[in-house]
């Protein structure tokens, strides 16, 4: 099984080196960093490591992920946020999950790099919600068989909720695996905006999305609220 890791970036100079180095140490076949127009040193840092192929794409996480997928030649795609570290057994976990031919893809559990009780509660809720609904977020490191990804047409190039939209379509295609092994992701967004405020914002956005509000309007609302 050839697994390609695709990491979308935009001004991630503070975390990209750690993420690429850690990911490379896990034995994956290919790592692509797909930058959406960073104005900091993200591209230079990633390229200078010599551990990943650095690509550029039009800004927008969905576009960046699709760009990496088109270039890749692996039969399995793993989509990883720039501030997220995989478990040491990630490659073996994915191979084991996809050894079952009925499994089309999956995701990991998530925990935050913050030791706070608030972070533990939030991550536990995220994992439980995902396990009950079969819907995953990008924080959970989605992986999918390449042929299934292509069959689905990749990520819809919408400005927000691309992970929710894709995982919804994915679970309709076949069985997905919710792995118990955990990725560790940054708590910075929650700390900067306030945990309660961020939770309420994300719940509101997802509720509006399920009610049929366009992702374009939600992206505008998200930016306005975060200012």
pLDDT, tens digit, 9 for 90 and up, residues 104-157: 999 999 998 876 777 788 888 889 989 999 999 989 999 999 999 999 999 999
Local structure of 179: helix, strand or coil: strand
- Determine contact, residues 62/162, Cβ cutoff 8 Å: yes
- Given this model, what pLDDT does residue 122 score? 81
Alpha-carbon dihedral sign for residues 207, 212, 214, 217: negative
CA angle 63, 141, 36 (to 5 degrees): 25
Please give the Cα distance from 150 to 157 (Å, whole number). 14
pLDDT of residue 224: 46
Residues in the chain: 227
Please give the CATH superfamily to which domain 3-110+133-183 belongs.
Spore Coat Polysaccharide Biosynthesis Protein SpsA; Chain A (3.90.550.10)
So what's the pLDDT on residue 82? Answer: 96
Banded model confidence at residue 166, pLDDT cuts 50, 70, 90: very high
Q: What is the pLDDT of residues 91-117, one digit of tens each?
A: 999 999 999 999 999 999 999 887 677
Q: Is 218 helix (H, G, I), strand (E, B) or coil?
A: helix
* Distance, CA of 72 to chain centre: 17
Q: Name the nearest CA neighbour of 137 among 80, 181, 90.
A: 80
Strand-pairing partners, residue 168, are none
Section 160-178 average pLDDT: 93
Cα–Cα distance, 34 to 54 (Å, whole number): 6
pLDDT band at 226 (very low <50, low <70, confident <90, very high): very low
* Whole-prediction pTM: 0.88
Name the band, by pLDDT with cuts 50, 70 and 90, for residue 225.
Answer: very low
Predicted confidence at residue 173, as pLDDT, reads: 96
59-99 confidence digits (pLDDT tens): 999 999 999 999 998 899 999 999 999 999 999 999 999 99
């Amino acid at each position: 099984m050839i697994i390609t890791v695709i990491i979308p970036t935009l001004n991630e100079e503070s975390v990209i080196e750690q993420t690429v180095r850690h990911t490379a140490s896990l034995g994956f076949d290919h790592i692509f960093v797909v930058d959406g127009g960073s104005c900091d040193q993200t591209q230079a840092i990633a390229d200078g490591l010599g551990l990943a192929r650095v690509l550029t794409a039009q800004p927008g996480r969905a576009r960046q992920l699709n760009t990496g997928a088109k270039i890749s030649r692996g039969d399995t795609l793993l989509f990883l946020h720039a501030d997220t570290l995989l478990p040491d057994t990630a490659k073996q976990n994915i191979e084991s999950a996809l050894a079952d031919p009925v499994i089309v893809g999956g995701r990991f559990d998530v925990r935050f790099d913050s030791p706070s009780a608030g972070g533990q509660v939030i991550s536990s809720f995220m994992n439980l919600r995902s396990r009950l609904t079969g819907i995953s977020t990008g924080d959970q490191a989605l992986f999918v068989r390449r042929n299934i990804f292509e069959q689905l047409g990749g990520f819809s190039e919408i400005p927000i909720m691309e992970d929710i939209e894709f995982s919804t379509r994915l679970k309709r295609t076949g069985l997905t695996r919710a792995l118990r092994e955990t990725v560790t992701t940054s708590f910075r967004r929650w700390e900067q905006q306030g945990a309660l405020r961020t939770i309420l914002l994300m719940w509101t956005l997802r509720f509006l999305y399920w009610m049929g509000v366009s992702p374009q309007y939600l992206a505008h609302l998200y930016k306005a609220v975060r200012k």
